[in-house]
Amino acid sequence: MTEIQKNANNSARFKAMGSVSSWKETTSGFLGKTESGNFQVTVFQSGVIRIQASPFDSFDPNLYSICSNPEKTEYSLEEKFGNIELTTSKIKLKLNLKNFNISFFDLNDKLINADDTFGTSWIGSEVTCYKQVQKNEKFIGLGEKTGNLNRSGKTYVNWNTDYFGYGVEDDPLYMSFPFYIGVHDQGAYGIYFDNTHKSIFNFGASTDRFMYFSAEDGDMDYYFIHESSVSEIISTYTSLTGRMKMPPKWALGFQQCRYSYYPDKEVVSLANTFRDKNIPADVIYLDIHHMEKYKVFTFDGVNFPDPKSMISKLKQLGFRVVVILDPGIKKEEGYIPYDESQQNGLFVKYPDGQNYIAQVWPGWCGFPDFTKPETRKWWAEKMEFYTEAGVDGFWTDMNEPASWGQFTPNLIEFDMDGSPSSHRKSRNIYGMQMARATQEGSILQNPKERPFVLTRSGFAGIQRYAAAWTGDNQASDEHMLAGIRLVNSLGLTGVSFAGYDVGGFAGEASKGLFARWMSIGAFAPFFRAHSMINSKDAEPWAFGEEVEEISRNYINLRYQLIPTIYCKFKESSESGLPLSASLAIDYSNDPKIYQSAFQNEYIFCDTFLIAPVESHKEITKVYLPQGNWYYLYSDKFFNGNQIIFQDCPLSYLPVYVKAGSIFTMQSEGSNTGQKNDGILRVHLYAGADGKFNHYEDDGLSWDFKNGEFHERLLNFNSNKQEFIINHAEGNYESEYSKVKIYFHGFDNQEVKLNGSTKKLNYENFSFLNKLTEFDPLPESEHPFFELELLPYLEIEYTNKEIIISDLN
């Protein structure tokens, strides 16, 4: 056997890091050498420790996901009993000098996570970290992944893939988030594997010995996070990878899309129909048929002869316009974007310098190298074409990158901000960098307004640049529920602004499915209906009068809840926590929430327990976790920790409000920019302490960063029987002149307002309007819930503190 053959055989075998031969302390941890490589341990925060290992002399980090630096953190470091021990105020790390196995403990010496004896190792260029599975351990996260909430027993691949009409168990999809959270009896932790190559997370599939995460190349580079709760782990993870920018308020409204609306007369007609039918909406999308032969930075001169005038008409009706942006630049001399990219070397290239050309919508195309600063700058400048026409938002699609044939050659090269790399390392961050360039362009062209960018592809950190949607789903009940899990899982990995195509993109929704999906979508961060070419119309009025009314009801409820939703977006932009929160965040040790019957339930805006249900069901089981709960529509009271049976006609999605909740509403409106009636409606629920941070600004500009906001804490103390609206902060004048406080579950006939007795008023109140009885037959009568004689107090809304006491 030749020496080459021996080396080849050796490279195909397992190779561990081996024993530690030397180590030394650094300013933020320690580094050293083993038999097989180099390592470095860095204290990033008191609850975050970074582990790096490589067979080479230097590390090859990902430049794009981590956006923070190590904090100055106190820790102790010593060598004893054959281990290097590093202890912060939250974590104790032990690194075994004999085999480089790493274990993590809390400060009570409870084992949180530990390497299997195989530890960190290589098979050829593939690097893997093998971990023990703790007793009763469950695994959640990984972002846009199908399957169950608990990932145990399954394997997932991170490789951004254009997957039209994917199945509800298919993998991989469009985005990659190599971050998971482990939950077990001893505690919880998170691991973010910061490697952009194709990676695998195996949570015990085909083995009873360990779980592992691996990448086909690159370093073992992961961040271990330990905090006292899952929510703190998510918040800490987003302190590393970033948080979303505060979006414009119009992006929180209902958005209508189709592949495609054209010509311009159809687009204007669509807008007029929303207004004529009194169905609120804020956004209309222009898909690829707005372009000339699908070429980006063009309008079709036949179907859209005067786009600026069309968009002006839409704005007069209160609509914003979002256009699709595909990365493929048609190879066509005389087409300015192609000529400029060619002349300035902005395309992705082969190693010999020739442009990489592949087929997509316009035909043969070059692909801008968004990992190159010059390309991002050029793209941002080209976006003037759209902003000059009045376009408000941008939808980056096909940015995995996708091409016909679906098999991009691995040898093509990307600049990677001066560190050229092949497709193997670059693919997963391509879409993220396109979204980055698009956001930068939106801000460059319209610096006074907050950007809105929506992306199909992304990687850890994408939340800094764009909202996300779950791609080309199908019109089925299974996809509707799978989409909820996808959005909830995205929330577990820092992507707060996310949604799905309501009604399903591929296929055609039934009347019942569309109605149910609309009701669920009203409780999603991103609320957009979308449908495919050559399918039936899929607007709210396209399914008959009853579905139209159900859709109108839930869209109206969404718009009335905009004050709450907007406040929670502000909180999420600061904390990184999701608006659509899996029950695994607050109830992570409750085994029932992982059961297939209940894993789709989630908390929306920290207040509403949403229990999604298929369109064909009229009664369903709902699990109410710890706490006390009110059925939203009737105020029926339930104790938690129980399974109930709930009627669920299409007109009433099962929704519950947690005791102690406070949320705000406003009057109905056709769009988020319409002036409300000046009354802030506050709903307060008895049974537990609660708080709500009310926040207002102009909804569009960056002025809130300079003090132009209105913010105040609303606090309910159940023991003191006291509700306080604290003194307002900020320089922005509130939109409201009065506040109307509704008391749910209280027995009061009067209260004390700043010490003075006030009698309560009463009114019948409903969250949804009664449906019209289109069919006169009595058995077709629709249910209707109304809160009879709901007590309320209406007072002037001033910046001064308001104290309401003697509540019981």
Distance CA(432)–CA(466), nearest Å, equals 8
CA distance 66 to 237: 10
Give the confidence band of 3 by pLDDT, cuts at 50, 70, 90.
very low
Indicate the burial class of 296 (C-beta count within 10 angstroms; 0-12, 13-18, 19 or more). buried
Spot the catalytic one: 171, 369, 440, 472: 472
pLDDT digits 0-9 by tens, 250-285? 999 999 999 999 999 999 999 999 999 999 999 999
Place of tokens 């956004």: 283
CA angle (591, 597, 598) in 5-degree steps = 55
pLDDT band at 676 (very low <50, low <70, confident <90, very high): very high
Model-wide pTM > 0.85:
yes
pLDDT tens track for 775-803: 777 666 899 999 999 999 999 999 999 99
Average pLDDT of the chain to the nearest whole number: 97
Q: Return the structure tokens found at 137.
A: 């351990």
pLDDT, tens digit (0-9, with 9 covering 90-100), for 115-168: 999 999 999 999 999 999 999 999 999 999 999 999 999 999 999 999 999 999
By three-state DSSP, how is residue 375 classified?
A: helix
Does the CA dihedral 746-752-757-762 come out positive or negative? negative
pLDDT for 780 equals: 67
Contact (CB, 8 A) for 462 and 256: no
Residue written as tokens 């003194």?
Answer: 727
Alpha-carbon distance of 84 to 181, in angstroms, equals 25
Rounded mean pLDDT, 469-497: 98
Q: Which of 120, 131, 143, 117 is nearest to 204 (CA)?
A: 131
> Phi and psi at residue 518, in whole multiples of 5°?
-65, -40
The predicted-structure confidence for 193-240, as pLDDT tens digits, reads as follows: 999 999 999 999 999 999 999 999 999 999 999 999 999 999 999 999
pLDDT at 34 over 60: yes
- The position carrying tokens 């805006």 is 605
CA distance 661 to 686: 8
* Candidate list 400, 546, 549, 697, residue with the active-site label: 400
Q: Is the pLDDT of residue 2 over 50?
A: no
* Secondary structure letter of residue 349 according to DSSP: B
pLDDT grade for 8, boundaries at 50, 70 and 90 = very low
From the list 115, 300, 392, 397, the catalytic residue is 397
282 is catalytic: no
pLDDT at 12: 84
Of the pLDDT bands very low, low, confident and very high (cuts 50, 70, 90), residue 7 is: very low
381: Cα separation from own chain's centroid: 28
pLDDT level of residue 9 (50, 70, 90 thresholds): low
- The fraction of the chain above a pLDDT of 90, given in percent, is 97
User: Token pair of 158, please?
Assistant: 């991170």
Which residue(s) pair with 648 in the sheet?
A: none
Q: How far is 747 from 22, CA to CA, in rounded Å?
A: 71
**Spatial CA neighbour of 496 closest among 399, 426, 560, 585:** 585
Q: Give the burial class of 542: count Cβ atoms within 10 A of its Cβ; 0-12 exposed, 13-18 middle, 19 or more buried.
A: middle
Going by pLDDT thresholds of 50, 70 and 90, the confidence category of residue 11 is confident
**Cβ atoms 283, 250 nearer than 8 A:** yes
* CA–CA gap between residue 787 and residue 808 (Å, rounded): 19
Query: Could you identify the residue written with the tokens 């409870």?
Result: 110
One-letter amino acid identity for 212?
Y
Task: Cis check for the bond before 401: say yes or no (omega within 30 of 0).
Answer: yes
**For 62-78, how does the pLDDT look when each residue is reduced to its tens digit (9 = 90+)?**
999 999 999 999 999 99
Residue 5 has pLDDT above 90, yes or no: no
β-pairing, 453-455 vs 467-469, is parallel
199-202 and 467-469: which strand pairing? unpaired
Interaxial angle between packed helices 373-382 and 336-343, expressed in degrees from 0 to 180 and rounded to the nearest 10: 160
Contacts of 658 by beta carbon, 8 Å cutoff, 6+ apart:
603, 607, 609, 627, 628, 629, 630, 685, 688
| Residue whose C-alpha is closest to residue 422's, from 430, 541, 730, 561 | 430
Residue 620 CB-density burial (10 A; 0-12 exposed, 13-18 middle, 19+ buried):
middle
Q: Is 508 a catalytic residue?
A: no
d(CA 493, CA 151): 14
Please check the confidence at residue 533 and state whether its pLDDT lies above 70.
yes
Q: Per-residue DSSP letters for 49-115?
A: EEEEEESSSS----SSS----------EEEEETTEEEEE-SS-EEEEETTT--EEEE-TT--EEEEE
Question: Is residue 438 within 8 Å of residue 452, measured between CB atoms?
Answer: no
Amino acid letter for position 436? R
3-class DSSP assignment, residue 495:
coil
Cβ atoms of 391 and 323 within 8 Å: the answer is yes
> What are the backbone angles phi and psi of residue 9, rounded to the nearest 5°?
-65, -40
Distances 144 to 8, 79, 169, 643, 738 between C-alpha atoms, Å: 37, 41, 12, 29, 42
- Which DSSP string corresponds to 442-470? HHHHSTTB---EEES-EETTGGGT-EEE-
- In the numeric block, which tokens belong to residue 214? 């691996």
Instruction: State how far Cα 182 lies from the chain centre.
Output: 20
Q: Which stretches of 159-244 are assigned E, i.e. beta strand?
A: 175-176, 179-184, 187-193, 199-202, 211-215, 220-225
- 400 has catalytic annotation: yes
pLDDT digits (tens, 9 = 90+) for 544-571: 999 999 999 999 999 999 999 999 999 9
Q: Residue 775: what pLDDT?
A: 77
Indicate the SS3 state at residue 688: coil
Of the chain, the end-to-end C-alpha distance in Å amounts to 87
Tokens representing residue 558 in the block = 């969404």
Taking residues 348-362, report their average pLDDT.
Answer: 98
DSSP state letters, 543-599: T-HHHHHHHHHHHHHHHHTHHHHHHHHHHHHHH---SEEEHHHHSTT-GGGGSTTTT
Contact 284, 256 (CB under 8 A): yes
Residue 284's pLDDT is 98
* Interval 390-440: pLDDT, tens: 999 999 999 999 999 999 999 999 999 999 999 999 999 999 999 999 999
The C-alpha atoms of residue 10 and residue 569 are separated, in whole angstroms, by: 53
Angle at 772 between CA 766 and CA 775, to 5 degrees: 140
- Using only C-alpha atoms, what is the Rg of the chain? 27
How many Cβ atoms sit within 10 Å of the Cβ of residue 446? 15
- How far is it, in rounded angstroms, from Cα 673 to Cα 250? 7
**Whole-angstrom distance, CA of residue 658 vs CA of residue 637:** 10
